[in-house]
Amino acid sequence: MLPISERTPDLKEEARLLARLSLYLLSCDLWALGCILYQLISGEHPFRGTHEYQIFNKIVKLDYEYPDGFDVHGRDLVEKLLILEAEKRIGSKETGGYEALKTHPFFKDVDWEGLPTSQAPKLVPYLPALDDHNAEDLWSDLDQTGLDGQQLVRLEGLGLGEDISKSTEEGSDDEERYHPTLVY
Separate counts of helices (H) and strands (E) for the chain? 7, 0
pTM over 0.75: no
Q: Which CATH class is domain 7-110?
A: mainly alpha
Read off the pLDDT of residues 113-161 as tens digits, 9 standing for 90 and up.
998 998 887 877 666 555 555 555 554 444 445 566 666 666 666 544 5
Residue 130 vs residues 6, 113, 133, 137: alpha-carbon distances, Å: 65, 40, 5, 10
Give domain limits for the chain. Answer: 7-110
Read off the pLDDT of residues 59-90 as tens digits, 9 standing for 90 and up.
999 999 999 999 999 999 999 999 998 889 99
